[in-house]
Amino acid sequence: MMGREAVGLHARGTVLKSYAYGLHGPVCNIVLNSLWYESTFPAASPSDVLEPMMLSCNAIFRMARRSLDALVAFIRAYAPALSAQDAMFYLHRSHGNLHRAAVLIDTEGVDHKNGMEDALRAAILAAHLPGDVARQANFSFVVNSAPIDAFLARHGISGHSLAFGLYDLSSRNNASVIVDGFVKSVMSRLVCTVSSPPSSSILRQGAHRASRIKRHYFKRDQEFCLNIVNMALDKLAFQFGKRYRIHLLCGKSLVTLLPNSYYHVNFMASLEDEPTQPKLFFAEVCASHKDVNHVTLCCPVTLSATTGGCSACEFTGMKLIHPIDEEFNGQHDFTKGFDPHMVERFRKDPNSEFGVPLIEEYIFFEPDQHPEVRTFLETTYADMSDDQVDLSLLWFGNCLP
């Protein structure tokens, strides 16, 4: 719901800490947690921070997974007698609003030993914030909601005790304008509560080289994906006479269905004369993508329980939103006729990469602020020669800067 400029400006907080737990609705909490992280842990060298226009499927899936883990952890800490399935039931009924879920639990007489603050601490712990300092700072921010309530009230959204927060704006024509105002209002009140001294942790040669290559790989992949999406938007303009501009790339998957291959892409875009009204799109483009004739499909999609599925994307662990009522490659199970044991062996679990840093994290990596990334780089690459680092990363599709 943010405008084009706000998407890039707040990308760092979005990638690193845009989680849905808090005392407001999930959308409001995602925005708040992103802004909190940017303010509390600012980049040591702001001029060097890239404003990316792309999030990978893995990054979006991890945000969603950690948000869900945090929401479930809150419910189960608040009422320990509830199972994970029970917690999901209350989250569904409350539309992910933790304060509303707690009210439901109290109203229905479910026994609970812990209060809201203990439950919030459990949610923050489940979100995997890096270290006790970050967790305590986030807790202090989440429980201080008075300024946020005041902003929501000015726009006709009730206080946090019963509100969905920014979720209430979904049907308003000026939703993005209000969200941009909300962002500016929150940022004006946030102060840097945790000092960030200049980085003193110097990576060893192999780790430093690996970090540079991964950063370059992200930039190269983003440029490649932008070219694909711009080609799709060119075809859309040719067919309907309307020109759209990209807000954010939301994941890309290579679908190989011999003898052909296709790219499936999700992205947010808005009409040039309506920059605050972005829509989610799906595009399918032939892997050769020489011109607009290789764009086989480009259409808006909506999030729903009946979103169209793609067996090829699911096989590679890519969680993309596909259209329901349009034909695209990969709709039908392409594994029929293959050895089922081999199919399961090569099927990729989207949870499998949670143990390693995402490629997006290297764009904002600072050794002092991101110890988990630093540890991974030092453990994996520090003792390698330059050639060994290059060959190791080349195996995974990266290339030298």
Does 85 share its domain with 150? yes
Query: Which of 266, 268, 265 minimizes the C-alpha distance to 276?
Result: 268
Average pLDDT over residues 75-85: 93
pLDDT value at 256 more than 60: yes
The Cα-based distances of 385 to 121, 206, 212, 278, 390 in angstroms read 43, 6, 15, 46, 9
Q: How many residues comprise the chain?
A: 401
Q: Is residue 88 part of a domain?
A: yes
* 326 shares its domain with 252: yes
In a domain, 95, yes or no: yes
Residue that is last in its domain, among 133, 160, 189: 189
Q: Assess if residue 360 is contained within a domain.
A: no
Residue 161: predicted pLDDT? 37
Same domain as 160, residue 20: yes
Cα(354)–Cα(347) distance, rounded to whole angstroms? 16
The pLDDT-based confidence of 263 (bands split at 50, 70, 90) is very high
Are residue 84 and residue 31 in the same domain, yes or no? yes
- Residue 286 phi, psi (nearest 5): -60, 145
HSE-CB of 139 using CA atoms within 13 angstroms: 19
What is the 3-class SS of the chain, one letter each residue? Answer: CCCHHHHHHCHHHHHHHCCCCCCCCHHHHHHHHHHHHHHHCCCCCHHHCCCCCECCHHHHHHHHHHHHHHHHHHHHHHCCCCCHHHHHHHHHHCCCCHHHHHHHHHHCCCCCCCCHHHHHHHHHHHCCCCCHHHHHHHHHHHHCCHHHHHHHHHCCCCCCCCCCHHHHHHHCCCHHHHHHHHHHHHHHHCCCCCCCCCCCCCCCHHHHHHHHHHHHHHHHHHHHHHHHHHHHHHHHHHHHCCCEEEEEEEEEEEEEECCEEEEEEEEEEEECCCCCCCEEEEEEEECCCCCHHHEEEEEECCCCCCCECCHHHHHCCCCCCECCCCCCCCCCCCCCCCCHHHHHHHCCCHHHHCCCCCHHHHHCCCCCCCHHHHHHHHHHHCCCCHHHHHHHHHHCCCCCC
Q: What integer pLDDT is reported at residue 48 of this predicted model?
A: 56
The confidence score (pLDDT) of residue 185 equals 58
Average pLDDT of the residues in 53-69:
86
Say yes or no: 290 and 239 in one domain.
yes
117 and 235 together in one domain? no
The verdict on 164 and 240 lying in the same domain is no
Q: What is the pTM of this model?
A: 0.77
| Residue 182 shares a structural domain with residue 297 | no
275 or 83, which is more confident? 83
Asked whether residue 393 is assigned to any structural domain, the reply reads no
| 149 touches 160 (CB < 8 A) | yes
> Residue 204 CB: number of other CB atoms within 10 A?
13
What confidence tens digit (pLDDT) does each residue in 271-325 have? 887 766 788 999 999 998 888 889 999 999 987 655 567 888 888 788 888 998 8
Q: Based on the fold, state whether residues 115 and 212 are members of the same structural domain.
A: no
Beta carbons within 10 angstroms of residue 81's beta carbon: 10
Residue 379 lies in a domain: no
- Which of 158, 189, 220 terminates a domain? The answer is 189
CA–CA dist 339, 336 (Å, integer): 8
Give the number of domains in the chain.
2
In a domain, 304, yes or no: yes
Let me know if residue 395 belongs to a domain: no
Domain boundary at 333, 353, 373, which?
353
Pair 228, 280 in one domain = yes
Same domain, yes or no: 220 and 265: yes
Which tokens hold the place of 277? 């009204």
**pLDDT reading at 3 higher than 80:** no
Least confident of 42-46, 224-228, 241-245: 42-46
Between 119 and 393, the more confident residue is: 119
Q: Are 360 and 55 in contact (CB under 8 A)?
A: yes
In the sheet with 244-257, reading across from the earlier edge strand, the strands are 244-257, 260-271, 279-286, 295-300
Write down the mean pLDDT value for the chain.
78
What confidence tens digit (pLDDT) does each residue in 331-389 have? 776 666 666 676 676 667 767 666 778 888 888 887 877 888 888 889 889 889 998 88
**Per-residue pLDDT reduced to its tens digit, 150-192:** 555 554 554 433 333 444 444 445 555 555 555 555 555 555 5
Instruction: Tell me the residue type at 390.
Output: D
User: Could you give the C-alpha distances from 313 to 61, 218, 284, in angstroms and in order?
Assistant: 13, 20, 12
How many CB atoms neighbour CB 219 within 10 A? 14
Give the structural domain span for 53.
4-189
Output the domain CATH number for residue 314. Answer: 3.10.450.10
Do 11 and 41 reside in the same domain of the chain?
Answer: yes
What integer is the mean pLDDT of 12-26?
A: 81
Mean pLDDT along residues 252-280: 85
222 in a structural domain: yes
CA distances from 41 to 15, 35, 145 (A): 14, 10, 20
